[in-house]
Amino acid sequence: LAKTTQPISMDSYEGQEVNITCSHNNIATNDYITWYQQFPSQGPRFIIQGYKTKVTNEVASLFIPADRKSSTLSLPRVSLSDTAVYYCLVAGDDKIIFGKGTRLHILP
Amino acid sequence: DARVTQTPRHKVTEMGQEVTMRCQPILGHNTVFWYRQTMMQGLELLAYFRNRAPLDDSGMPKDRFSAEMPDATLATLKIQPSEPRDSAVYFCASGLVIGTGELFFGEGSRLTVL
């Protein structure tokens, strides 16, 4: 299983773009990169996934370089409600392991 | 709106008692995961099933924990006997195409063992 490394915590201000980078040097050919968001007292929520290049949905964008050894989750114009823990994980046809995540704190 | 349903949402029990947590996965999903979350350890994978068959339960303390899927609509996690260190939030998640990492989580069962 590919191990992921991401910052423990980040602070940002409302209205800013937030980028959270995750490294996964040992990613396998068949692995997908997936990001989850977790609010207090709730289960994690899938927000975006990708294999390579760029993926965008209504919540976020995910940038993956050609070597796929890292990925960056981009949250445009964050608000206070984006304060949460964000998990990066790499998933193949196997069990899904969560790391410690990045605790994002949005300030007014 | 399809969702994973977990019961009970909260449980307080005394050490030594049996605890059973239940999960109803989203209809049609063929893979079910059980996770435990604490402040110290984060999200730990306890066990997972595919098509009702257990694929991996290496994350569970074997002497006291057991996980089963009696049918496609029910997954259970049992602790017997419970201990204070089992206090945590237990999450169930289900999915269909696990290779992409997309899981749908329930709201969790918060267990407190006194």
Residue A96 lies in a domain: yes
Measured between beta carbons, the chain B residues lying within 8 angstroms of A44 are: 43, 91, 93, 103, 105
Q: Range with the lowest mean pLDDT among A92-96, A97-101, B17-21?
A: A92-96
Q: What is the pLDDT of residue A1?
A: 60
For residue A102, what is the nearest residue in chain B, using CA coordinates? B42
In this model, does residue A92 exceed pLDDT 90? no
Query: Does A55 contact B at CB distance below 8 Å?
Result: no
Beta bridge partners of residue B91, listed in sequence order: B35
Residue A41 covered by a domain: yes
Would residue A4 count as lying in a domain? no
**Would residue A30 count as lying in a domain?**
yes
3-state secondary structure chain A: CCCCECCCEEEEECCCCEEEEEECCCCCCCCEEEEEEECCCCCCEEEEEECCEEEECCCCEEEECCCCCEEEEEECCCCHHHCEEEEEEEECCCCCCCCCCEEEEEEC
Mean of per-residue pLDDT scores for chain A: 93
> Could B55 and A95 be called an inter-chain contact, meaning their C-beta atoms sit closer than 8 Å?
yes
pLDDT computed for residue A2 by the predictor: 64
- Per DSSP, which regions of chain B are E strands? 5-7, 10-13, 19-24, 31-38, 42-50, 53-56, 65-71, 74-79, 88-95, 104-105, 109-113
Range of the domain at A90: 9-107
Using CA coordinates, name the residue in chain A closest to B48.
A95
Residue A32 lies in a domain: yes
Give the pLDDT of residue A45: 96
**Contact A20/A73 with Cβ under 8 angstroms?**
yes
Q: How many structural domains comprise chain A?
A: 1
CATH number at residue A43: 2.60.40.10
Is A1 within a domain?
Answer: no
Map out the domains of chain B with their CATH numbers: 5-108 (2.60.40.10)
Chains A & B: contacts with CB separation below 8 Å: 61
Question: What would the mean pLDDT of B21-32 be, rounded to a whole number?
Answer: 95
Question: For residue A2, is it within any domain?
Answer: no
Q: How far apart are CA A9 and CA A25, in angstroms?
A: 21
B28-58 pLDDT per residue, tens: 999 999 999 999 889 999 999 999 999 888 8
What pLDDT sits at residue A93?
A: 67
Over residues A78-91, the pLDDT tens digits come to 999 999 999 999 88
pLDDT tens, B79-102? 999 999 999 999 999 998 777 788
Are A78 and A12 contacting, i.e. CB atoms less than 8 angstroms apart? Answer: yes
Q: Is there a domain that residue A37 lies in?
A: yes
Query: Percent of chain B beyond pLDDT 90?
Result: 82
Rounded Cα gap, residues A77 and A68, in angstroms? 26
